[in-house]
Chains A and B, each alone.
Chain A
Amino acid sequence: MSQTSEQIKRPVQRSEMSKIQWTWKEMKRNKTAYFMLAPFLILFIVFTVLPVFLSMILSLTDFNMLEMPSWKGVTNFTRLFLEDEIFILACQNTLIFACVTGPVSYLLSLLIAWFINELPPKIRAVVTLVFYAPSISGQVYLIWKTLFSSDAYGWVNATLIDLGLMTKPILWFENADYVMGLCIVVALWTSLGTAFLAFIAGFQTVDRSMYEAAAVDGIKNRWQELWYITLPTMRPQMMFGAVLSITGAFGFGAVVDALCGFPSVDYAAHTIMHHLNDYGGQRYEVGYASAIAVVLFVIMISCNIVVKKALSKVGE
């Protein structure tokens, strides 16, 4: 590390070496950092990056989980977009789902975090727990299954029958008319998760002196304070929250399965995620499922780009 005075050399110029050489040199120089990054990086590459590329390759085959795949070209994709009506339905559901739950849960997280931030610390801790609890308590969403049980003794059914509003129990989670709405409600209820915590943390990190400076500069009200000071300062947290909201909204599948069964009646809450599971798990068509995954991946990435663009406008 320490260099003696005799060894001093002329500094290396960036222009003297190729990009690869330069990168390699920089990596050697920062090897400690890379070493420390390595455990995560290796795991990330092996279990996240590699599978993504693998599934891209598999999406061009007819892999069935049990036999060697054979090459199929883009047939999977043509079938997906041109023949598979249920995929179109799933896309539609996913978009409705993502467009409603994604932004709403995001804004809800932000607003509630802002509101909670205004509370005194002790109360804040309690209220934070209250809002955060549903998302950490594992399968607590099953309470909705009890509430909206199809049994005549289910809470909602029993209440509605008691009130004389109906005579026969409604099969809440097995009726195409209600499934989507209910799932969105449940999704929102469980959505105040990590993003919400990040927001709370973000609000805490805002430098107080900025508000004072801003007040001097002529900020008129709390809204302006929020828009011009608070939000721009916590852009990283907002980006993080947005990514989570998007992946959450697109990947929302397990809850629907647990509540409505798989597949949901008439595919009413069938999302791309479900379609993927259907082909990958039930029909042993992993090649086709990979194609779906690739499409989903592309949608998510593009959403992220759009959101990133949008967030850069915050505070302008």
Chain B
Amino acid sequence: MKKTLFQKAICLLLSVTTLLGVFGITSYAADGKKGSNQDTASSLEDMQSLVGVSSYEDYLAANGDSFVSGLPVINIDLNDMVAGSTGVKPSESDECKQSFADNQQNWANFGDNWENSIYLPSTGQTTWNFKIPEGAASYYYIKIEYYSCITSESSISAIERKFKIDGKAPFDEASYIKLDKSWSFDQVTVLEETESDKEDGVYITYDNTGKYFDDDSYYKIVETVKNGKSVKTVYKMSVDIIGNSMSPSIEQEPQWSTYYVDDSTGYYHGYFRFYLLNGSHQLTLESQREPVIIKSIQLIPYEGEGDSIPSYEQVLQEYAANGYQSASGDITTLEAEFPDFVSDSSVYATNNNTSAQTYPSAPGSQIFNVIGENSYNSVGQWAAYKFTVNESGLYKLSARYLQSTLQGMYICRTIKLSGGKYGYEDGTPTVPFMEAYDVQFNYNKKWQSTFIGDSKGNIFQFYFEEGVEYTIYFEVSLGSLKELIYRAEKSLEAINDCYLRILQLTGSNPDPDINYDFYKYMPDVPRTLLVQAIELMDIKAGFEELCGTNGSHIATLETIAILLDTMGSEEGIEIAANLSNLKSYLGTLGTWINDSKRGGMVVDSFSIVPANATEDVLPRAKSNFFKSLWFEFSSFIYSFFTDYDMMGLTTKPQEDVTETVNVWLATGRDQSNIWRSMIDAKGGFTDRTGHAVTLKLVTAGTLLPSILSGKGPDIYIGLGSADVINYAIRNAVMGVSGGDKNLTQEENEIFLNHYYTYKNPDGTYEITKEYKGEENLSFVSQTFEENVGDNYIQAAMDTVTLRGVSYGLPQTMTFAMMFYRMDVLAELGVRVPETWSELISTLPTFQTNNMEIGVDYISALDFMIYQKGGNMWLYTDNEDYAGAKIGLGTDIALESFEYVCRLYSDYSFPITYDAANRFRTGEMPLLIGGYTGLYNQLVVYATEIEGLWEFCPLPGTEREDGTINYDSLAGVSATVMLHGCNNVFAAWEFMQWQSSAEVQASYGNKMVALIGPSAKYETANINAIKDLSWTARERAAIEDQIRNMSSIVNYPGSYIIARYMKFAFLDAVNDGANPVDAMTEYLDDINSEIRRKREEFDLPVLMPDEDPPTTSKSATK
């Protein structure tokens, strides 16, 4: 009965939605007030504008080679903005004014540009009108002068804008532009002038022996001597008490820079040129990430090949013409671990103990002595070093490095220079000659120390003038490999396309014995496969020619080519049998391309060497045998004595336990190190409150036994909300909202009052209940209510609250969102579904193309109840009886349960699937899953589809009044205070500090800085989210979903629900049982378990047919 009714309903819905599809959609789009995922999802038009944009190559071919020479530079009038632009003058922008008022230092380099520049905030778009005069139709470079300002909208990301001319991206590669920011280390001090008998010049020395300063930190000392007077600039890299370097904190340097629109992906060297016809045009910058201030946009006429960057040959001729000779002075060595500037916060120094020759190296401790490895390997990242030579002349560069990642391949860096005759006036570096895009570092398992040159065997010479401060930039690039990698990427696209086409004909599990007649239905598929087989072999040959060897890395291409060849030949008869192989090889090729693009190497030092020097003067690559042996041996011995608990501590932990907050967390080493450094930093927790903190990294199962034995911590970070309630009801965690009956009245008072900590100038701390003014005020302990404030949504707080007492502050919050492949949806002409019924109505389109929709059934079972307006529990309004009975038996819940089961049984949604892989191939263009989990995976795993996917809130369920409920469910972990805590006040202060928006945002950003974009942190503090490094669109989507969020409250016995729901679901899906019957069967079991559990804790219980005794309100909200 039910089945037919349901099918009828679906048929009806289908026909209605199809009808609506014609005209309804536009009306929806216009009426955004109703609220649905459409508010933040890309529209179909947006997605379609993404695909079908030509490449730069085609763009140049289409516009021809002709240009007009001798044209004047065209300045775009920045005030000529079209209506609706979000750009404003800095003097009229609240953010800029506020930022200036807060910290004038950030505007020190800004100059007097308040009126003649434009501030582009991190959201919205700005469009300028400009005109190309009669007869000036030609190619132009586009030059932008910008200021990387710091305002309240800034985070750690680079500045990204969508770039459009006349409303659309002129070609694919220029659809996004990335404006660099510059970061520098903040521990720099300048020592006073002293007498010196050295000759005039600049001397750079390094020291970690405590020779100059009374501690073991590692120093770079730049000594400038002039007329017998010396000034020292000292850069400090701090160490902890056992001699390990600690990540230096870095700060953004707001500065003016010059940018020519170029390729941020590294496939094109040089600047892009744009063909502009006579007449009016519009140039648009659409915000993706970060605010920026723009001073000028200029169109520089193209003057033919080589007009912007000379060739090395030209440079050499110029040297000869000027009569430059080799310098003869000293070698200047720049330790790579001390960059003066870096492109982003994730480029940082690290430790490498593989060679005793690396300076400095200390067996047994991890002192930062190199830069590189995983933190400095993606295209566009750079590290820059300042230096000054003491004699004018020609110099060569050398490096001591270890490049052992990709067997048989070399990696490339682009060298840019500023200072002297190099670079722009504002200090932006330029590439000195075209070949400097292609500085080559060869593969070797051992350390190397060589001169720097290109693939053609040139060793580059640079002219440096005495006494001028130069900055040299080493930027990760694809160098001469760019064409081959680009071709491999295009090849992957073509093969992937074939794969999806094949799926249309055969489905995902084709019968190898059937001849699908590819030559008849899709003759181009076998042909393309053959072409791509040849292409891959050709690419492989190209690599062999460039690298001169046949490494294992390159051999992968041949394996794939052989498969393609088999599949393509004999009229495609082998396609079906090999389809699953092809699928896995697609993944392999994608990973291969990722690896090839990653220019990871470890650099110990760079040297600036007079041009006539030979290799003998370079630092030794390898240490001698005995030195290595001793180094290895002592490292081994030291490993027995390293106290890992001391890692990251700058002071010995105090004996006085009552003053120390004992904190445990069960995450990774990186996370723990970040917390450690944040606690110890100047302005960190200890500095502000005077409470010392011990931080221990433990395994997740340790907490329970530790509480039992009384050795537990005071604070535990990241306890799942179900456990919070489990522990709370057994009196193992403390209520922090002031109503915990296990705490004394005094202790409860702590959570309900203000306490002010004043840090006296002599370093002592004073805690008072009275406010004594702002002076010396270093920390304010607020009430629980204030801490919750608007930091957490109610749904998150509910999960850690039991009978009116909250047992922790939420730490992380995860929830499901919808990920979609824009290119696939655009091709199918399907918009992002707004409701579940719309999703089902688009299903045929997907299924005819053998595509699937991935929905995680466990979360769908839960959130569907809430989307339909139900609740997992009954009587939630009744304090005594809340959680006494399960709400799964209500009509709404059963209906939603049946609905979800039908998705899998009737619409064949896959139950088990490899989400990231199928999303990557495009087989699963719609995917519902946890937002950070999937995002973090896709962003590193599937770089070839970068920019082709987005995520938005879940599809919703229509309410009776026509609005849409698109709730997702929050999964919360919390920071809790454990029973037996010695110093409730100190622990409470720690909790407040640790979960404050500022600290959470800073932690999230440090995670991304340290680990990379795949370490997005799912903070529960919604005020912290705006400062994390999401793009404006991503942030809007996340915030939209957070506004539409429910949660399942934890009551005694909660654990049983998910279990039986899963059983019922599997019964329905496996054996075709009626979902409603299957679920109903388990209701008694669930209720009796809940009853039993409640009896254990002396809570009022309800018998099966019983309702709460008082005026019971039905609980559906």
Contacts and interface: CB of A to CB of B under 8 A. Distances in A.
B1063 A265 contact: yes
A219 interface: no
Contacts of B1067: 176, 266
B730 A67 contact: yes
A174 interface: yes
Contacts of B509: 152-153, 158, 161-162
A211 interface: no
A175 interface: yes
Interface string A228-268: 00000000000000000000000000000000000101100
Given A174-B1066, A266-B1066, 6 more contacts: A66-B727, A67-B732, A150-B912, A151-B913, A171-B912, A176-B1070
Contacts of B708: 65-66
Interface string B896-923: 0000000000001011111000000000
A265 to B, nearest CB: 5
Interface in B668-711: 704, 707-708
B487 interface: no
Main secondary structure of the interface of A (DSSP, over half): loop
B1062 interface: yes
Which residue, B510, B908, B912, B1096, has most C-beta atoms of chain A within 10 A? B912
24 contacts: A62-B1096, A65-B730, A66-B707, A66-B708, A67-B730, A67-B732, A150-B911, A150-B912, A151-B910, A151-B914, A152-B509, A153-B508, A158-B580, A162-B509, A162-B510, A162-B511, A169-B911, A169-B912, A171-B912, A174-B1066, A177-B1070, A265-B1070, A282-B1055, A283-B1055
B964 interface: no
A39 to B, nearest CB: 23
Contacts, number: 73
A283 B1089 CA distance: 10
Interface string B726-766: 11001110000000000000000000000000000000000
B1062 A265 contact: yes
A204 B629 CA distance: 46
B704 A65 contact: yes
B1055 A171 contact: no
A176 B914 CA distance: 23
Nearest to A172: B912
A164 B510 CA distance: 10
Contacts of A64: 730
Interface in B1031-1070: 1055, 1059, 1062-1063, 1066-1067, 1069-1070
A25 interface: no
A284 interface: yes
A171 B704 contact: no
A168 interface: yes
A277 interface: no
A109 interface: no
Contacts of A175: 1066, 1070
Nearest to A285: B1096
Contacts of B510: 162
A169 B1071 CA distance: 13
Contacts of A66: 704, 707-708, 727, 730-732
Contacts of A150: 911-912
Contact of A174 (B910, B913, B1070): B1070
Interface string B1078-1095: 000000000000000100
Contacts of A151: 910, 912-914
Contacts of B1063: 265-266
Contact of B911 (A164, A171, A177): A171
A190 interface: no
Contacts of B511: 162, 164
Interface in A131-184: 149-154, 158, 161-162, 164, 168-169, 171, 174-177
Counting from the closest, the 4 A-B pairs by CB-CB distance are: A150-B912, A66-B730, A161-B509, A66-B732
Interface residues of A, number: 29
Contacts of B279: none
B1070 A149 contact: no
B210 interface: no
Contacts of B910: 151-152, 169
Contacts of A171: 911-912, 1066, 1069-1070
A152 B1069 contact: no
Contact of B512 (A162, A168, A265, A285): A162
Contacts of B726: 284
B1059 A67 contact: no
Contacts of A169: 910-912
A285 B580 CA distance: 48
A201 B1020 CA distance: 60
A90 to B, nearest CB: 15
Contacts of A158: 509, 580
B846 to A, nearest CB: 15
Interface string A59-99: 00010111100000000000000000000000000000000
A266 B1081 CA distance: 12
A162 B1070 CA distance: 20
Which residue, A150, A154, A174, A177, has most C-beta atoms of chain B within 10 A? A174
Nearest to A267: B1063
Which residue, B509, B512, B704, B1059, has most C-beta atoms of chain A within 10 A? B509
A64 B510 CA distance: 54
A169 B732 CA distance: 45
Contacts of A62: 1096
A148 B912 CA distance: 12
Contacts of B1066: 171, 174-176, 265-266
A77 to B, nearest CB: 16
Interface in B606-629: none
Contacts of B914: 151, 153
Nearest to A175: B1070
A175 B1070 CA distance: 6
Contacts of B1096: 62, 285
Contacts of A284: 726, 730
B584 to A, nearest CB: 9
Nearest to B1082: A266
A3 to B, nearest CB: 48
B574 to A, nearest CB: 15
A284 to B, nearest CB: 6
Interface string B490-529: 0000000000000000001111100000000000000000
A56 B867 CA distance: 49
A149 B912 contact: yes
Contacts of A153: 508-509, 580, 583, 914
A176 B911 CA distance: 16
B1040 to A, nearest CB: 32
Nearest to A86: B1085
B903 to A, nearest CB: 14
Nearest to A157: B509
A259 to B, nearest CB: 13
A274 B1066 CA distance: 20
Contact of B1059 (A162, A263, A285): A263
A162 B1067 CA distance: 25
Contacts of A149: 912
B915 to A, nearest CB: 11
Nearest to B1062: A265
Interface in B379-393: none
Contacts of B1093: 283
Nearest to A158: B509
Which residue, B731, B1066, B1070, has most C-beta atoms of chain A within 10 A? B1070
Nearest to B509: A161
